[in-house]
Amino acid sequence: MSENVQTQERDFKAAVKDGLALKCPNCSKGPLLYKYLKVHDSCSVCNQDLSCQRADDGPAYLTILFVAHLVGFLAHILISYTALSNIALFLALSTVATILALIILPRMKGMIIAIQWAKRMNGF
């Protein structure tokens, strides 16, 4: 018997990898985002509907969690092993935090959308 499409398992790990790479979790080829954080309504390659995604605040919280841990560790290293002034530490750490957040935020959004797709959440 043929399996129902709704009951087929979707590869969770592959979907997360595609989400982190900002690719469609269905075909792994089409772009997931445009204009930094805007989600395409559908994949340009496989026509997977992406408009039902609900990645509201989750990516921002995950980004803060990830960046804060990295910058906190870096702050500990810099304070312990260098003689930088307070202003130099502030400038270095705030620059690193800003750059990391800008790089990581779209990837977290892609990952959240891919998880929703893999688990068939919100109409996927």
Question: Over the stretch 23-81, which tens digit does the pLDDT of each residue have?
Answer: 999 999 999 999 999 999 999 999 999 999 999 999 999 999 999 999 999 999 999 99
In this structure, is residue 1 part of a structural domain? Answer: no
* Pair of tokens at residue 118: 């893999």
Q: Is 42 exposed, middle or buried (0-12, 13-18, 19+ CB in 10 A)?
A: middle
Q: Which amino acid is at 58?
A: G
Number of domains in the chain: 1
In this structure, is residue 5 part of a structural domain? Answer: no
Count of residues making up the chain: 124
In the three-class reduction of DSSP (H, G, I as helix; E, B as strand; rest coil), residue 49 is classed as strand
In this structure, is residue 28 part of a structural domain? Answer: yes
User: Does the pTM exceed 0.85?
Assistant: yes
Q: Range of 49's domain?
A: 10-118
In this structure, is residue 123 part of a structural domain? Answer: no
